[in-house]
Structure 1
Amino acid sequence: MTIYLDTSDIEQIKILSDLLPISGVTTNPTIVARSGEKLNTLLPKIRDALGNNGLIFGQVISNDAGSMIEEAIKLNQIVDNFVVKIPVTLQGIKAIKSLKNEGIKTLGTAIYTPQQGIVAALAGVSFVAPYINRIDTLTGNGIETVSTISHLLAHHAQSCQVLGASFKNTKQVIDCLSMSNTSVTIPVEIAYQMMTNPCVDEAINQFQCDWITAFNSLEH
């Protein structure tokens, strides 16, 4: 199990990778577009922000297999420990198979169904990324989809891992991580929500008040 940040915010990557056990950063074309920087300049900044540790994920934007392959090869040369995200379409599967032969690590993205997940895994991806909240909103039950994919991978593609994406709350994250062989990529706001709770703050404040009442300071 690993946790990744789904962001291109360099400052937040620095802050959260220092605070939390973050294993890397994922991006997608929308996230990159919001940054105002293309991947050839953004990826090295993310690598530096991670302290040269962890995986970085970046996505191709082409629709045909040949162009996807060309993009993937170029992206893979920008930074080390890089994973190319490929949409799981017919053309995407073709690209994944070719990139597997090239030794380039891939993630199958834009997954809404178990059949996409298992086909991508058999084609050679290292990760499959079901869109949890989007599945909930559009087509069904995101966590049930993760469960089915996880079960299929355990029987037929054990080298592939579920990397849950598209979360809107921490319950979805925990439900996803409750499945076997799963990791998650979460946006910055969810990362903070994972470790903030007013009840915890209240308890800590009460501990300090009781200590000060007894000993007149916070010293041991």
Structure 2
Amino acid sequence: MKFFVDTGNIADITRLHALGIVDGVTTNPSLMAKESRKPHEILKEICDLVQGPVSGEVVATDYEGMMREGRELREISEHIIVKVPFTPAGVQACKTLTEEGTRVNVTLVFSAAQALIAAKVGAYFVSPFVGRLDDIGHDGMDLIEDIVEIYDNYEFSTQVLVASTRGPLHIIQAAKLGADICTCPPAVLDALFKHPLTDIGLERFLKDWEKAQQK
């Protein structure tokens, strides 16, 4: 499974990328609005750093606007993935951009039917939001299981990019179901490293070593 970091913060991306676990980056308008620089400048810097897929999202809601913004985004870097929302206009833009050779991430997906449509128009990534489904009393992982099964049935090339992950359990469940990618906030990736027995074991090793040195 690939790990993407879901942020527009260069410091967090740099820190996590140095560990060797970041395969790509996803951004959205909300994340980019938190930063103090122009979105295109940030996206270019992220692409240069990560050298992997970097999703930059359109903010237009109409087909023509999505096409204009998508074409502008793809000029930033060869690593840019144009991100569009799952709407009729977004689906249409995905189809056209894909036919032009642009890789597209269809986001805000909450049902298997939506994921099926996104795959049919050639989406490179589909982003189902598991955490937000959990928030309203649905099991987001049921959706991942359905999408993976459907894509396998018909050999779609669209990759399942699990989004809105809230903790390590989401990542492990997605990996067991065969999802291609999890995109995670920096804090969730940090949490993957943590286990109390690791901390206890390291502390014990160091104390034993200190005692051995005093002999």
The equivalent residue for 2:160 is: 162
Q: Distance in 2 between matches of 1:74 and 1:67?
A: 11
Give TM-score scaled by structure 2 length. Answer: 0.95
Shift of 1:81: 1.3
Counterparts in 2 of 1:1-220, with a 5 A limit?
1-50=1-50, 53-138=51-136, 140-216=138-214
Computed over aligned residues only, the root mean square deviation of the Cα atoms, in angstroms, reads 1.5
- The CA deviation string for residues 22-80 of structure 1, in whole angstroms up to 9 with x for no partner, is 10111001001111333221112212332xx2111111111111111111010000122
Alignment partner of 2:34: what SS? helix
1:13–1:79 distance in 2 versus 1, CA, 3 Å? same
Unaligned 5+ residue runs, structure 1? none
1:171–1:203 distance in 2 versus 1, CA, 3 Å? same
Shift of 1:3: 0.5
Is the 8 Å Cα contact of residues 47 and 79 (structure 2) preserved in structure 1?
no
Is the 8 Å Cα contact of residues 10 and 49 (structure 1) preserved in structure 2?
no
Is the 8 Å Cα contact of residues 122 and 157 (structure 1) preserved in structure 2?
no
Q: Distance in 1 between matches of 2:116 and 2:87?
A: 13
Q: Distance in 2 between matches of 1:3 and 1:77?
A: 24
Is the 8 Å Cα contact of residues 121 and 157 (structure 1) preserved in structure 2?
no
Unaligned 5+ residue runs, structure 2? none
Alignment partner of 1:35: what SS? coil
AA aligned to 1:33 is A
Q: Distance in 2 between matches of 1:47 and 1:105?
A: 15
Moved segments of 4+, more than 3 Å: none
Shift of 1:139: 5.8
**Aligned residues: percent identity?**
29
Q: Distance in 2 between matches of 1:30 and 1:36?
A: 12
Alignment partner of 2:61: what SS? coil
Give TM-score scaled by structure 1 length. Answer: 0.93
- The CA deviation string for residues 81-131 of structure 1, in whole angstroms up to 9 with x for no partner, is 111111111111111111111110001100010100011011110111000
How many pairs align? 215
Alignment partner of 2:23: what SS? strand
Q: Distance in 1 between matches of 2:162 and 2:185?
A: 12
Shift of 1:202: 1.2
1:72–1:160 distance in 2 versus 1, CA, 3 Å? same
Is the 8 Å Cα contact of residues 87 and 109 (structure 1) preserved in structure 2?
yes
